[in-house]
Structures are given as structure tokens and as C-alpha cells.
Amino acid sequence: MKYIYLGGAGEVGASCLLIQVAGRNILIDCGIRVNQRGHTAYPDLQRLKWHAHDLDAVFISHAHADHIGGLLTLQRSYPKTPIFMTGPTADLATVMLLSAHQLTNIHREVRHTIKEIPNDRYSAEDLSLRRDYLTAKFKSVLEELKKYTIIDTDAWIDLEWGDTWAFRFIPSGHILGAVSIELRTPEGNFLYTGDVSAFRQRIVDGIGDNLSGINPDFMWCESTYGNGDHPARKTEERRLVEAVTTIIQAGGKVLIPSFALGRAQEIIMILLSYMQSGIIPDFPILTDGLVNKICDVYEENICFTSQRFQHWAERSPNLFYTPPIRRVRERAREHFLRMDTPYCVIASSGMLVGGASVDYARALAGHPKNAIFLSGYQDAESPGAELQAMQQGDYLTLSNGDALQVNCNVEKFHLSAHSDQGQLIKMIKAANPKQIALAHGNARATQALHGKLFKDFPVTVAINCQLYDTTPKGVREATHRYIETGPPYSVS
Ligand SMILES: [Zn+2]
Ligand SMILES: [Zn+2]
């Protein structure tokens, strides 16, 4: 078996793993680097084309942009390859990909063009041609999104490549629809963890002992928090709730920039449950940005959430939008940005790279009675990371180059949806692989986890774009000749 990370090794972003086994090319995940634009945001799809002229199957672990953001581009290069994912992942991926910047613009343009009337610049015929072109473009994207093959968790699925081939999706906690992937092949049994959370969250259960006893011949494991242990979840939740309440009671406003998918829904539930149990008073909580659409998808997929959440949902007809939680429509945002009375707003994006959270940051950051509470992983290059390291009064550089003076409170809360070092080690030992490759983490995190594992397992800290060939003795690099020479041709 050979494997190569086209992205996602030594970083959190652009996850994309090619596995070559028994004459088949299998790709797992195709994400983007959310902090980057243009071709550098993508995995090395040119190199992928070089290594795999055809792909036999694509598996998607979950719908975070760092795992699916490159999917439409991939589909253009490999239009016939089946793409397997869970039902909730397909629903979430559709919303995530349609909301990607470029597609939103196409949609907007279609709407505007439809409203336009012929004028000096555009004849009726011009407009009608443009309308047809944009509508066709938008429809073709929708068609691509319908091509996914939905697979239930836990059952073994026959790939119809012969008796020895099968795969199964194993719930991995993390977010709605997320799975680890186990693959049976003529050359052995392989396990890709995807992103995992050991602990139970408000909406999804943890991975528990789902990987125990699998004994794979090879395991690809995430290592996002491979270099430390999380503070106790309950303590951190309480700290956040108390900090928000303090600011609100003093007449301020709070922005919680949040990943639209997963984190935002957890934060809504944390605040709501403290209110419902009477520990804190009710105050207005707003959600804005992509968060709103993702909440709708969660609502349509309640049967895939934890039993505990399903019980709560039965008694809560408005689910996330149980008062005092309300969603802000894009056209009403301006009103809330100017509003004087206190509120807490949960808005995407989580690293302040764009979206509604940036609008609220501009409105709130200047005043010392307000607060911005960061809630998760901040990429080293992101405005969120810069904000975290700043002193009061410093200027924050936003993605468009604007400078924003920050006089408000800034604090970081650890509400990660990833296992920490101790939890990863426990999970790996229970899975008991013969060999491991570590990826999906920065160098510090991955090296630290390597340091804890290498005495017990042959373990490789994977590097992007290196082809590894697994042998009985361990893992060795097959060749990296092409690193100097580059791929021989470009992707069309
Ligand atoms: Zn994820
Ligand atoms: Zn990820």
C-alpha cells in the first residue's frame, strides 16, 4: 500500500489523502485552507492527477470546509468517480459548498439579472443570454452536488471490486455526520480516523470505543491537539457562560465568532441550557451568517444526533430558535449592528477571516464595555490568532487590509470538537494499529504526539506531497524525486 497526502499533513486545512492499494486509487477528503484564496487554498490536485489518472472511489469523513471545500473542483477532474458520505454530511456539504464565496456571487448575479430591464448597455437579448448562462452555471453546480452516494454508518458496504473489498463508516463524534473510515482490501485492513472527539458534546456523542479492537494494518490519525490536554469541558463552558453574562449585565455586547458548522450549534445549546435551568437570566442571543443555514440542516437531521439531544428536541419545537435565541436575516443585520441594547451574537466565520462575524467585530471592537470571545482553533495566519495575541488599544488587521482598533475585552475559550493528546493516545492504543501516520495538526502538535507514541508503534509524521510505501519493517519513503522536478503535466 502506498499513500500520499496532497494536503492536510503538518497543517489543519486542505485534507486530502490518496491511497494506492491493490491496483486501486482511493481518495479520502478534499478540503481547502479556509484562510487562503486562489490555488494555494487547495490540496495539490495537479500532483494528484499525476499519481492517479483515474480515481476508483472518494470517501468524505465530514462536511467541514477543510475536508470538502475542494470537492467541486475535484469532481470536474474525476466526473465519473463515486463519492461516498453519510446523509447529514451530504446535506451539510451542499449548504457549505453553495455558500462558498464564488457560488453565492453567481446566485446573487442570477437574481439581479432576472430583475434587470433592458437599457442602453444591455438589450433584451443580451440580458436573456446572460440569464441563461448564469442559470445554467448555477444548475450545473447543483447537479454536481446531487451525485453523492449516501451511506449509513456501521454497516459494511461492498465496493463490488471483489470479495476482499469493503468499507464502513464509523461515527467519530466531532460534528453531525462525522465518521472514521475503515477499509478492507486484499493488502490489509486500513483505518482513517477523520476528525474525532472522545467526549460527548451537547448535540453529538463522542467516538467512545468505536475504534477499539479494529487492529488495522495501517491507521491515519488526526493530531490537531496532539500537544496538550483540554481543560475540563464543563469548567470551560461555565467560564464562557459567566463571562458572557457579566458583559451583558454591565450593558455591553458580546461577539462569539464561531465556525458555522458544529461549534455554533454547541454554543447555542450551552447558553440555552444554562438559561433553561435558571442559572443565568434570559438575554437576547442572536445568530448570524452561515450559522443560520447550518442550524436548519441540523434540524432536518435530528435522527443523527445523540439520544439526549433528540429527547430535548422532542420538547422544543423551535429547536435552536427557542426564545430568547433568534436569527438575524442578512438585510436586518445593519439594525443589530447599530442597536444600543445588550446582546450576545454567535456569528461565522470563527477565525474572523470574513462573513458576518467581521461586521460585528467592526461594530463592537472599539468600545471597552463590549467583548469578543474566541471559541476555537485559530489558524496562525488568521485575524483571530492576531486578536488573541493583542493588547487593548492595538490595531487588528482584517483580511481586506482594514485596521480595526480593539478596545473591547478579548478572551479565548477552549470548546474544541477534537480529542486532546491523552484522548488520542487512549483511542490509538485501543484501536491497536500495526503502523500509524499522523497528520491534521501543526508541526508542534504532531511532533508532540509522535513523541508519546513512537515507543509503542511505528509512527510517521506525514509530510505533504511525499509518497510513502508501507513495508513490513515500518514506513519508508518510496521516492521524492518529483519534489525537485515537479509533475510532468497540468490538470485540465
Ligand atoms: Zn472537522
Ligand atoms: Zn478537519
Q: What is the pLDDT averaged over residues 408-412?
A: 96
CA 423/CA 262 separation, integer angstroms: 20
d(CA 443, CA 129): 51
Q: How far is the CA of 34 from the centre of ligand 1 (A)?
A: 12
pLDDT at site 125: 83
Distance 346 CA to ligand 2 centre (A): 21
Q: What is the mean pLDDT of residues 297-302?
A: 96
Of 30-44, 308-322, 448-462, least confident by mean pLDDT is 30-44
In this prediction, residue 330 carries a pLDDT of: 87
Q: Provide the pLDDT for residue 121.
A: 75
Give mean pLDDT, residues 403-412. Answer: 96
Pick the CATH number of 2-86+151-227+418-485 from 3.40.50.720, 3.40.50.1220, 2.40.30.20, 3.60.15.10: 3.60.15.10
pLDDT of residue 156: 97
CA–centroid distance, 198 to ligand 2, in Å, is: 15
Q: Taking a C-beta distance cutoff of 8 angstroms, is the pair 4, 18 a contact?
A: yes
Looking at all shown ligands, the one closest to residue 7's CA atom is 2
Kindly give the distance from the C-alpha atom of residue 293 to the centroid of ligand 1, in angstroms, as a whole number.
18
Which CATH number is associated with domain 233-412?
A: 3.40.50.10890
Of residues 86 and 125, more confidence is placed in 86
The pLDDT value recorded for residue 172 is 98
Short-list 325, 398, 395, CA closest to 366: 395
Query: Ligand 2 centre and the CA of 88: distance in Å?
Result: 16
Nearest ligand to the C-alpha of residue 417?
1
Between the CA of 109 and the centroid of ligand 2 the distance, in Å, is 31
Taking the centre of ligand 2 as the mean of its atom positions, its distance from the CA of residue 335, in whole angstroms, is 35
- Ligand 2 mean position to 233 CA, how many Å? 20
Distance 148 CA to ligand 1 centre (A): 19
Distance, C-alpha 168 to centroid of its chain: 21
pLDDT at 462: 97
Q: What is the pLDDT of residue 147?
A: 84
Q: What pLDDT sits at residue 489?
A: 37
Whether 110 has a pLDDT exceeding 70, the answer reads no
pLDDT(471) > 70: no
Average pLDDT value for residue range 330-356: 94
Q: What is the mean pLDDT of residues 255-260?
A: 96
CA 194 to ligand 1 centroid distance, Å: 8
pLDDT > 70: what percent of the chain? Answer: 92
HEC secondary structure over the chain: CEEEEEECCCCCCCCEEEEEECCEEEEECCCCCCCCCHHHHCCCHHHHHHHCCCCCEEECCCCCHHHHCCHHHHHHHCCCCCEEECHHHHHHHHHHHHHCHHHHHHHHHHHHHHHCCCCCCCCHHHHHHHHHHHHHHHHHHHHHHCCEEECCECCCEECCCCCCCEEEEEECCCCCCCEEEEEEECCEEEEECCCCCCCCCCCCCCCCCCCCCCCCCEEEEECCECCCCCCCHHHHHHHHHHHHHHHHHCCCCEEEECCCCCHHHHHHHHHHHHHHCCCCCCCCEEEECHHHHHHHHHHHCHHHCCHHHHHHHHCCCCHHHCCCEEECCHHHHHHHHHCCCCCEEEECCCCCCCCHHHHHHHHHCCCCCCEEEECCCCCCCCHHHHHHCCCCCCEEECCCCCEEECCCEEEECCCCCCCEHHHHHHHHHHHCCCCEEEECCCHHHHHHHHHHHCCCCCEEECCCCCEEEEECCEEEEEECHHHHHCCCCCCC
Residue 150 has a pLDDT of: 96
Q: Residue 247 is placed in which grid cell?
A: 458583559
What pLDDT score does 111 carry?
66
- The x, y and z cell numbers of residue 454, run together, are 513512537
Tell which phi-psi region holds residue 235, choosing left (phi > 0), alpha (psi between -120 and 50) or beta: alpha
User: pLDDT at position 473, please?
Assistant: 54
pLDDT digits (tens, 9 = 90+) for 159-186: 999 989 999 999 999 999 999 999 999 9
Task: Determine the distance separating the centroid of ligand 2 and the alpha carbon of 158, expressed in angstroms.
Answer: 27
Q: How far is the CA of 133 from the centre of ligand 1 (A)?
A: 35
197 C-alpha to ligand 1 centroid (Å):
10
Q: How far apart are CA 377 and CA 185, in angstroms?
A: 35
174 CA from centroid of ligand 1 (Å):
7
> In this predicted structure, what is the pLDDT of residue 486?
39
How many Å lie between the centroid of ligand 1 and the Cα of residue 119?
Answer: 48
For position 161, what pLDDT does the model report? 95
Count of CB atoms within 10 A of residue 25's CB? 20
Average pLDDT over residues 141-145: 78
- pLDDT single digits (tens) 18-69: 999 999 999 999 999 988 888 899 999 999 999 999 999 999 999 999 999 9
Cα separations in angstroms, 274 against 238, 269, 277, 279, 480: 9, 9, 5, 5, 54
Kindly list the protein residues that place their beta carbon closer than 5 angstroms to ligand 2, a single-atom ion.
Answer: 64, 66, 195
pLDDT above 90: residue 104: no
Question: What integer pLDDT is reported at residue 143 of this predicted model?
Answer: 79
Closest ligand to C-alpha of residue 14 is 2
Distance 407 CA to ligand 1 centre (A): 32
pLDDT recorded at residue 106:
62
Confidence of residue 102 (pLDDT cuts 50, 70, 90): low
Report CA(310)–ligand 1 centroid distance (Å).
22
In angstroms, what CA-CA distances link 423 with 185, 237, 426? 28, 19, 5
- Could you tell me the residue ranges of all domains in the chain? 2-86+151-227+418-485, 233-412
Q: From the CA of 43, how far away is ligand 2's center (Å)?
A: 13
- CA 397 to centroid of ligand 2, rounded, Å: 25
Provide the mean pLDDT of the chain. Answer: 91
Comparing 481 with 52, the larger pLDDT belongs to 52
Cα-to-centroid distance, 191 and ligand 2 (Å): 16
Retrieve residue 145's grid coordinates. 452536488
CA 207–ligand 1 middle distance (angstroms): 13
Lowest mean pLDDT among 76-90, 122-136, 199-213: 122-136
Whose atoms come closest to the Cα of 262: which ligand? 1
Confidence of residue 484 (pLDDT cuts 50, 70, 90): very low
Q: Answer yes or no: pTM beyond 0.85.
A: yes
Closest ligand to the CA of 29: 2
Answer whether residue 135 shows pLDDT above 90: no
Mean pLDDT over 355-383 rounds to 93
Q: Which ligand is nearest to the CA of 32?
A: 2
- Ligand 2 center–CA 14 separation, angstroms: 8
Residues of the chain above pLDDT 90, percent: 79
pLDDT band with cut points at 50, 70 and 90 for residue 481: very low
> How many angstroms separate the Cα of 138 from the Cα of each of 98, 112, 135, 376?
9, 14, 5, 33
Instruction: Examine domains 2-86+151-227+418-485 and 233-412 and report if their fold is the same.
Output: no
As a dihedral over the C-alpha atoms of residue 74, residue 475, residue 434, residue 204, rounded to 10 degrees, the angle is -30
pLDDT reading at 444 higher than 60: yes
If you measure from the C-alpha of residue 169 to the centroid of ligand 1, how many angstroms do you get, rounded to a whole number?
A: 15
Task: Kindly give the distance from the C-alpha atom of residue 480 to the centroid of ligand 2, in angstroms, as a whole number.
Answer: 26
Give 127 Cα–ligand 1 centroid separation in angstroms.
42
pLDDT higher than threshold 90 for residue 133: no
Identify the pLDDT of residue 36: 85
* pLDDT score recorded for residue 9: 98
Confidence band for 482, pLDDT divided at 50, 70 and 90:
very low
